[in-house]
Amino acid sequence: MRQQPRTLATTGSTSVVLDAIRAAGTISRVGIASVTGLTGATVSNVVRKLLDADLVIEIGRAESTGGKPRVLLELNPTARYAVGVHLDHGAITYAVTNLAGAPVARLARPGPGHADPTEVVDRMAKEIDMLVESIGIARERILGLGLVSPGPLSSRAGMHLTPPFMRSWEDFPLDTRLAEVSGLPVLLENDATAAAIGEYWAGGTQREENFAALYLGTGLGAGIVINGTAYRGASGNAGEIGHTSANIDGPVCWCGARGCFEALAGPAAVVAEAALDPRIVQAAGLDALGEGSPITQRFAAIARASRMGDAGARQLLERSARYVGVAAQSVANMLDVRMLVLTGSSFAAASHIYVPAIRETLASSFFARDNHAVEVRLSQSAETAPAIGAAALVLQAQFVPERSTSLAANVRKSGVVSELSTLSP
């Protein structure tokens, strides 16, 4: 059922003009020429193509400053859409965003559990169809599908090394399989990077263009945004602070390294310790959930017990938060950022512990603290940021091939952009 995508040969100048319009919000042809350095003739040509393709609309004229009033242009937000899918052990979350990156639909469904990957991917394709149909968008208006999964990403086959609870996904060709059954081009991204981009596009960073998102879902990771685009690194695995050693003599992690932050203090570690303390098991109602329940669900139950006043649950979370605070310090020191966004369902569940602990650690230990503070924000869309970000990455791959960081280069190398379909003008 794979459709052959009709491709628009997105030349450098088309992307540059689209991105200039997106960045400005509202802009004239003269303004585009001025910010891009392209000639007036090139801008006029490209804009005509974009108007014909319905990607851009004329919204009126600027006030005259003496000469001929200038026609103002904006993106047509409903011209194209992108789908984001966040596959995590605990849940599969879907988002559809318009061309401006604003979410127009969301859907949360049960996680894969121990089902066969092939079946799960078939279900995902059906759920995507359902969501797209429910909001009445013509399928050919969908640029592509951003797919988010726990890392590390492999260029050849989705997840190569996988967390233990997703072991059956190891070496499963996730992206190519989903592209086959959905008929949409697929761009694979890791959870924390997608979450960071989701925060940026959803407005959670208030236009701060350089920041990191610390992501606590089932695992712990960081997403890095530089100049408004994702910094992905050589293989899309940048920001893997969760698998950096916090104790050189610590226990061996599933990733093979020793004393990782995630192994010492991630949600799975908190849940495992809680299981050893009958009082916490009772206070959090863990027995009722069962051992097969997702880590994020059990972790949230422990966080609720802590909020209700259970001292044991609180102590477990506080111990984890000391390590996560150091992970935050490490990210802030490496990148020298002014903002850190805390996102992911586990931060949302236990924000009463993690937010103050991380703020305190950065206030006392961020290396450049005499120069500037690091603002620590809790995401307003912690549950859906990765899915929104995955969709936004599809849009961004269209917009910003000429812009900084290695995102665009990597996406292009991966061959995804060249597959992305848009309506020919």
Q: How far apart are CA 93 and CA 352, in angstroms?
A: 24
The site that binds its own copies (CB under 8 A) totals a number of residues, namely: 63
Residue 55, token pair as written in the block: 């990607």
Q: 57, 76 in Cβ contact below 8 A?
A: yes
In angstroms, what CA-CA distances link 172 with 117, 353, 359, 421? 7, 37, 39, 25
Q: How far is the CB of 408 from its own copies (least distance, A)?
A: 10
103 three-state secondary structure: strand
Where are the alpha helices (H) located in 219-292, listed in sequence order? 261-265, 267-275, 278-284, 286-289
Edge-to-edge strands, sheet with 375-378? 229-231, 220-226, 211-216, 339-343, 375-378
User: 153-154 and 103-110 as β-strands: parallel, antiparallel, unpaired?
Assistant: unpaired
Q: 15, 402 in Cβ contact below 8 A?
A: yes
CB closer to its own copies out of 63 and 370? 370
Q: How far is the CB of 363 from its own copies (least distance, A)?
A: 10
Asked whether the bond before 267 is cis by omega within 30 degrees of 0, the reply is no
Please tell me whether residue 11 binds its own copies under the rule CB under 8 A.
no
Please tell me whether residue 406 binds its own copies under the rule CB under 8 A.
yes
Query: Residue 212 CA to chain centroid, in angstroms?
Result: 11
Q: How far is the CB of 335 from its own copies (least distance, A)?
A: 6
CB closer to its own copies out of 200 and 323? 323
User: 375-378 and 339-343 as β-strands: parallel, antiparallel, unpaired?
Assistant: parallel
Q: How far apart are CA 111 and CA 359, in angstroms?
A: 32
Please tell me whether residue 181 binds its own copies under the rule CB under 8 A.
no
Please tell me whether residue 44 binds its own copies under the rule CB under 8 A.
no
CB closer to its own copies out of 7 and 245? 245
Q: How far is the CB of 22 from its own copies (least distance, A)?
A: 18
- Rg of the chain over Cα atoms, rounded to whole angstroms, equals 22
Using CB under 8 A, pick the residue from 160, 168, 181, 318 that binds its own copies: 160
Using CB under 8 A, pick the residue from 38, 87, 270, 388 that binds its own copies: 38
Using CB under 8 A, pick the residue from 55, 178, 230, 246 that binds its own copies: 246
Q: How far is the CB of 169 from its own copies (least distance, A)?
A: 14
Q: How far is the CB of 142 from its own copies (least distance, A)?
A: 29
Using CB under 8 A, pick the residue from 338, 351, 360, 419 that binds its own copies: 338
Q: How far is the CB of 272 from its own copies (least distance, A)?
A: 19
Angle separating helix axes 385-399 and 191-201, nearest 10 degrees = 80
Please tell me whether residue 158 binds its own copies under the rule CB under 8 A.
no
The contact set with its own copies (CB under 8 A) reads 12-13, 16, 36-39, 151-155, 160-161, 210, 222, 224, 226-227, 231-241, 243-248, 255-258, 322-323, 326, 329-331, 333-338, 364-365, 367-368, 370-372, 403-406
